[in-house]
Structure 1
């Protein structure tokens, strides 16, 4: 049922004039929200054009149909982060202070998640946000992502912003996700109607006012029309019109308005009165004519509110603001407390900017230093946003005196640190860079170190940057010995940035070792964990792999003890990659499962995205192309609109290439997105992108691209090892050499790659190719050593079997057969025909296509079995079901479970929604009660898991076996509960929805049915237990080589 919205206000004092079309578009936004499509309406136009009036009318319409209205606004006089959302948070009862255990990049996502949860729980709502042109970047960032975070919650958002305002934050991204509504001036009819409505208060007859003249002078701007009706001698210049409007008041009223405007809306009447040197009731009396005249909306003990920001701006013209700020600073000083000190220092900073008496800047510098101290007090008091606002003022004041670089650098770093803590990363990075430039000319090594660390927090680990390295080294050399924490952080940055420089391998190793050593001397578990994860380099032997695993396990324990879920996830991911590299695909899956659970508890989608990407690789190696593609699509869905597009596109391109390489079945997008990413990144001077470009060129038939990468690295392939993930790059490049038949480059590639024999060699667990031994075998053939080729190819087949990985095994069997053919001899079990027959049968089962093998049954060599391992049937038999299979027979009573199982067996490999299996069409949005875990619950789970890990560590250290086992058992129980709550791929499972009820019921039905089969035919039960995948989508996907061909008959057939 559609929502019927009322009309606009009737003619009279409250009537909305000339905005019927715009109001219709707002009605559409409200209707979209009601149907579960949260939408932003973005009202844009010049000052005074009527944005607030239209927002007021939208609020009236929303309330009339039962929507709750929440309002927030930015303030021209405030640089406080998230000021735009302050009143909305207050109305929702949110006190988002940020979880101190979260890294800086997570905190803005935490605010977004908490805000979305609170809005969704609050029922149908309209959120009105005014004056985006004064908002800070993080407030805009939250608004831009809020509709997606709200899901299907019935929430509409309406925001207003001026056009062409100086220092307006970038809202291009917001425009893309919003419905822009641009407000122009009123037409002649609108002006005439506005004059008729407003002239009653102007003491001028309507007939004496010429609407056409007003339109020409004002451009149809409603505020200017009104003010010219009241003050006809003004002209069309907005500032002069508004000043003329204020000139009609007596001098004491004008002075009081100026003090109120400079004091701002947060100044109590008592403070304004002290600045005016009069009692509060006398000040209120002076301001009363401005209330009657429509300049002020309210005067109360809490402060003074102007009718429009332009009127407050006009009241500050042509006065000595420095002197007035000085008076306000003194007035606030008498208030006392942290709020009084902060406000006093803020006005003192503004007074210093315009002071003509402080020629040397000494007084200003003292005030800036005082502001830094008060900022520390505010942070301690839990008001970091207020501290940031104060430091913005301090930065502006300090910037007036160019001869004080140390002061300016320290203020910039202080401010950047707070903004980073709040998650406002973009301006923080700019401030760190500003501070670094200033500190390089100063004599303060600590300020320089802090600034250089901040300026390099998000530097690329893949693109060499020698200038950055030199600046970090210079800062390190100048740092006093006692500043160990800063030294460890600088060394950590050098480890990351130096990893991209192929000539800095030895120095990077030394920096990494020293960084960990310094961190250990500080006994800081968080810092040690971070630097341990940064220090793990490519393993060249089983011993090195074991050492990397030890370091990773220590990092995980320390991260969990420190409450750093992000570092723990990185550790589990790293562990998964190391296990996979060693061929332990089961262990890799378990480690990744831990990471996925923790990822679901963090607010940022980055962790859900990157763990889903890594899961794609495991699914691909397990032999499920369908599941791997679905996983990649899910990762893209999680990342789109939330993560940088180039990252999402690059990861998708990498995995599309991997799937094409393993299965020979390219997605239609594979070549397109590879071309797009290479257009963006192909010229970046990084081996990572250069080798990737050659890899894609080989798969898509671009000989020139292949030759380019061969010539670049062919004579010295070992230099790739000096890059980040260099072992993976070397394996990939060597594979290119082997496939291209580049015999001249085969021997150097073989020698460089040989230390990695026995490993799978994956790119951090995110993307995989053929085993190192398989590549070595083909290189050995090119180099004329067939005996070595047979040995390596046999080892590759053994690794693929032990994992097991069906697609890898197909290719490794082919290459072993080729090696044995070239050698002319080999063990009996390695007869080429037998190997190829096995590869062909396996390829048929998992749908692998190979360019040099027949793609259909007609071309298969003799000896290949005619189909899968056996045939089976499932059919109705009276009041039940009968299953006959080579693995045993079973008889089942009729119930929903057998029918749902029959549906899956009829179409192997095809996903069927649980809702469909349950017989329902889908879940209406209204029945979805939201995720099982809200932001607060996730935070509590994170804390409990970290406390339990700390308890395990304490118990282990004290040899308290019982206590350790008890804590460990509780951790495992919590993890099981979380897996049920978040589902596959770290998705939040909803509560109360038909889809969730269907999932629960279908999973229960299928598992009971399979258990009943297992009691009669254990082998068949084990086969189905392994092959039937359940969840919100279910499918029958047996292990390659164990598939049964099912014949299913039911009464409905």
Structure 2
């Protein structure tokens, strides 16, 4: 019998002409404009999504697109990146070679890094031809593929990359998440497929049975409800009946079950075993599940293929449609299904499959008390933790459910569950799970292990006081292994880093470090060094902090951002830049968002406000994507300050509101101090000096002002506010703190210079301010120098030393202008004009909002490189920034230039006058 699908390859599109036209228009648009697009073809099973996708792919290929198409599978939806792998590795011109993908897989210890590498590979192909990436049944996509699909279309929106997805309306979630993530960033079209019209179904019947379709057949086809797959299955049965001159079988089931009744019992059993394994399955795996040698099932395989129930692609067997598999699967009694899934998991592992391949069967077949299943879930969770921590957390939660409360295994599984939930950012769940386990009165050593496991959870939740209490309780219990004692001691020190008594905290940290060294426990060593580094920074001992963080990054390179920032606190920007370059070469091991924090701090310190702002924007986006908000509050505080320096009061206010909202989520003392200071700055800008001074006092209620590392370079602003508010005592206290900080850091020019500046402001002494300017000449921080020159200029004017004042103010104005701090430069300019030096006015014109003139210097560099044909990666390498930052700059470029493709950018840049 001819395959029922074969003669319908074209007629399968009956009634879909309008939808196909819409897809054709999107294909043409991507090819013509050179910008990206996304479409979701949505509808119930069998409604024609796959057929429509196949036709659209065929047309795109004919139009010169490089095509990669894959299909997600319900029972294989957990293997990280398995869904997208099919899109990237298959086709006439795979987007990635098998070797390249294997290399990606070996390094996928970070989701953001992996997505960036995938983007680079796709972008490189899109540089020579438009690209279509299609994924069928996106509702079954694995978690990492779903994550990538939410990022990649936006990341590649300026390249000719068209994403075509198909998905069911139920289960809802994955498809809608992808569309929501891209809405507003690139053209997005949702094509909803409803039932075919009666006329279209009639055309299908005519295509299959001939020109004449009698009324009896039409009535029967009404039962298909406009579903083309069901109609085709019925027509295949009718065609068979006519070929044998049989009457239409009475009671023919609408759908596919009627197709199964004629099969040999052995074939039906073989299909049932395959249905348990999934839509795609191995012949040998199905034979093993049947309990028969493979050779004895060849006849059954042949019958299933001839009946057009299975396809054989040479590697695996595939049910021709999900509905076929489901029809076979639902006829297996539920209790038998459970047992078969459990047996399938056992046999897959025995055959050498990865644990994650067997997990879907475990989830369907394991019963409470199944320790073998628990062990398999633990192994699978460990395998996927680094790249899909949410999945790992789900697997361990299920594993914990399978272990009865009475068994000691429960505590070991519980410890791993806590760690996975914490890694996934699900801290409240982790704490709840831990407390339930602790309520079961575990043995003393287990009690301590669980408290140690909860350490990271409590730290992430900003519960430093609770962390300290629990660590001390566990340490007091005794009877704990040395390595767990060392971890608890280190966690206690880390908690104390947020305490007021930092001397005691440092002593605790040193004790913890000795314990970690003696025990040889790597985790304890990392925790102890981290705690000591935090304590040293909070105390203001920058050299000690650098020593601790350098030792920490030597143990684990993921902590290189902390070492870079520690170098910056020492004014050693040269070493910081060297390490940033080093990090770019080993980005796979880095925490991407924290590296951007370090890069942003580096550029902010050097007065590169535009670059710093772009890096903090990107950092916040990456933290949001992985749902681990660490520096978002501080980032917004800095961005608000940058906006005020530039003169963008509206943006500054938006950042203030975002910082306040972030503080509500993470109300730790450092965040509180930073936001209160920012509120003071805004109050001063609004002319409410009383409120500004009140906010400065609130900062000190959280801890002395110089306790907060983010604020140290801004103490001059706090002193000016205090003096304007006639709070001289407060100003003196702040100056004394700055002086003490400088004494602790004699090798840091910025600390010495700011201390002298603070004293000069309090004493209103031009000589001391002149000394601060001399000290700051050795500082690499231009904004600190400019502020000191401005203060000196104002003091000299007050002392009626006009010529010297004009020189100092002009120097401040020039430095502010060079950094893009136009509002600060304008304030200095007004002072110059008041001194009668208006003729020496420098341009402080604000940038326009749109057009080439609206671009920052960094954006213009990125725009010119991309216009020359550079990818984000190659442009990033030339500019010594991250590809993420280039993408942020490029997004801003497109918005300001009102364009949406690299082709348009190239045309625009070419038309610009030289120079």
Q: TM-score range by the shorter chain?
A: 0.7 to 0.9
2:698 to 712, 719, 726: 712
Q: 1:99 to 1:285 in 2, by over 3 A?
A: closer
Structure with larger Rg: 1
**Which residue of the partner structure matches residue 26 of structure 1?**
23
Q: How big is the shift at 1:261?
A: 0.6
**Which residue of the partner structure matches residue 755 of structure 1?**
740
Matching of residue 547 in structure 1 with residue 555 in structure 2: no
Matches within 5 A, 1:223-262: 223-227=229-233, 241=255, 243=257, 246-247=260-261, 249=263, 251-262=265-276
Greater shift in the superposed pair: 39-48 or 222-231: 222-231
CA distance in 1, matches of 2:580, 2:40: 39
CA distance in 2, matches of 1:246, 1:394: 39
Matches within 5 A, 1:373-772: 396=398, 399-400=401-402, 403=405, 407-408=409-410, 410-411=412-413, 414=416, 426=424, 432=430, 435-442=433-440, 443=442, 457=456, 463=462, 466-471=465-470, 473-474=472-473, 481-484=480-483, 486-496=484-494, 499-500=497-498, 502=499, 505=502, 508-521=505-518, 528=525, 531-537=528-534, 544-556=541-553, 558-559=554-555, 564=557, 566-579=558-571, 587-599=572-584, 601-603=586-588, 605-606=592-593, 609-620=596-607, 628-635=608-615, 638-639=618-619, 642-644=622-624, 653-659=636-642, 665-666=647-648, 669-681=651-663, 685=667, 686-702=672-688, 705-706=691-692, 708-710=694-696, 712-713=698-699, 716=701, 718-719=703-704, 736-743=721-728, 745-746=730-731, 748-750=733-735, 752-757=737-742, 771-772=754-755
Q: How big is the shift at 1:165?
A: 1.0
CA distance in 2, matches of 1:288, 1:329: 27
The 8 Å contact of residues 499 and 722 in structure 1, kept in 2 or not, is answered as no
**Which residue of the partner structure matches residue 37 of structure 1?**
35
1:802 to 778, 789, 811: 778
CA distance in 1, matches of 2:360, 2:661: 52
TM-score using structure 2 length: 0.74
CA distance in 2, matches of 1:254, 1:831: 102
Q: How big is the shift at 1:262?
A: 0.9
Q: How big is the shift at 1:496?
A: 4.8
Matching of residue 112 in structure 1 with residue 104 in structure 2: no
CA distance in 1, matches of 2:213, 2:620: 59
Secondary structure at the residue paired with 2:170? coil
CA distance in 1, matches of 2:190, 2:508: 55
CA distance in 2, matches of 1:658, 1:110: 30
Q: 1:531 to 1:435 in 2, by over 3 A?
A: same
CA distance in 2, matches of 1:606, 1:344: 31
Q: 1:550 to 1:709 in 2, by over 3 A?
A: same
Matches within 5 A, 1:28-427: 28-31=25-28, 33-34=30-31, 36-78=34-76, 79-88=78-87, 90-91=89-90, 92-94=97-99, 107-121=110-124, 124=129, 125-150=131-156, 154-165=160-171, 171=177, 173-174=180-181, 176=183, 179-189=188-198, 191-193=200-202, 195-196=204-205, 200=209, 205-210=213-218, 220-227=226-233, 241=255, 243=257, 246-247=260-261, 249=263, 251-265=265-279, 267-286=281-300, 288-294=302-308, 296-299=309-312, 302-323=315-336, 326=339, 339=352, 349=362, 353=366, 361-362=368-369, 364-365=370-371, 367-368=372-373, 370-371=375-376, 396=398, 399-400=401-402, 403=405, 407-408=409-410, 410-411=412-413, 414=416, 426=424
Count of residues paired in the alignment: 833
The 8 Å contact of residues 43 and 159 in structure 1, kept in 2 or not, is answered as yes
CA distance in 2, matches of 1:40, 1:768: 52
The 8 Å contact of residues 261 and 312 in structure 1, kept in 2 or not, is answered as yes
Q: How big is the shift at 1:118?
A: 3.6
**Which residue of the partner structure matches residue 835 of structure 2?**
861
CA distance in 1, matches of 2:687, 2:803: 31
Secondary structure at the residue paired with 2:268? helix
The 8 Å contact of residues 30 and 160 in structure 2, kept in 1 or not, is answered as yes
The 8 Å contact of residues 45 and 162 in structure 1, kept in 2 or not, is answered as yes
The 8 Å contact of residues 284 and 299 in structure 1, kept in 2 or not, is answered as no
Q: 1:702 to 1:218 in 2, by over 3 A?
A: farther
Q: 1:605 to 1:750 in 2, by over 3 A?
A: closer
Q: 1:507 to 1:726 in 2, by over 3 A?
A: farther
Greater shift in the superposed pair: 538-547 or 187-196: 538-547
The 8 Å contact of residues 72 and 141 in structure 2, kept in 1 or not, is answered as yes
CA distance in 1, matches of 2:804, 2:788: 9
Q: After superposition, give the CA deviation of every residue in 1:778-829 in whole Å (9 maximum; x if it has no partner).
A: 4x45xxxx6xx6675454333333337665445435545777899xxxxxxx
Q: After superposition, give the CA deviation of every residue in 1:729-769 in whole Å (9 maximum; x if it has no partner).
A: 8776555434433346445545555422468999x99x999
CA distance in 1, matches of 2:473, 2:351: 39
Matches within 5 A, 1:939-954: none
Q: Which runs of 5+ in 2 are unaligned?
A: 1-5, 91-96, 239-247, 843-855, 887-908
Secondary structure at the residue paired with 2:80? coil
Matches within 5 A, 1:989-1004: none
Matches within 5 A, 1:770-781: 771-778=754-761, 780-781=762-763
CA distance in 2, matches of 1:982, 1:480: 57
The 8 Å contact of residues 435 and 451 in structure 1, kept in 2 or not, is answered as no
Q: After superposition, give the CA deviation of every residue in 1:271-327 in whole Å (9 maximum; x if it has no partner).
A: 423433445455343455544444x23258855321222332332225345546646
Q: How big is the shift at 1:258?
A: 1.8
The 8 Å contact of residues 50 and 222 in structure 1, kept in 2 or not, is answered as yes
Q: 1:487 to 1:323 in 2, by over 3 A?
A: farther
Secondary structure at the residue paired with 2:74? coil
CA distance in 2, matches of 1:845, 1:744: 33
CA distance in 2, matches of 1:738, 1:392: 56
Q: 1:208 to 1:704 in 2, by over 3 A?
A: farther
Q: How big is the shift at 1:183?
A: 1.9
Q: After superposition, give the CA deviation of every residue in 1:149-177 in whole Å (9 maximum; x if it has no partner).
A: 55765543222222231785872654536
Q: After superposition, give the CA deviation of every residue in 1:119-166 in whole Å (9 maximum; x if it has no partner).
A: 345564432222222233322111222235557655432222222317
Q: After superposition, give the CA deviation of every residue in 1:248-270 in whole Å (9 maximum; x if it has no partner).
A: 65554433322211133564323
Secondary structure at the residue paired with 1:47? coil
Q: 1:391 to 1:865 in 2, by over 3 A?
A: closer
The 8 Å contact of residues 252 and 286 in structure 1, kept in 2 or not, is answered as yes
CA distance in 2, matches of 1:458, 1:252: 54
The 8 Å contact of residues 600 and 608 in structure 1, kept in 2 or not, is answered as no
Q: 1:505 to 1:337 in 2, by over 3 A?
A: same
Q: Which has the larger share of helix?
A: 2
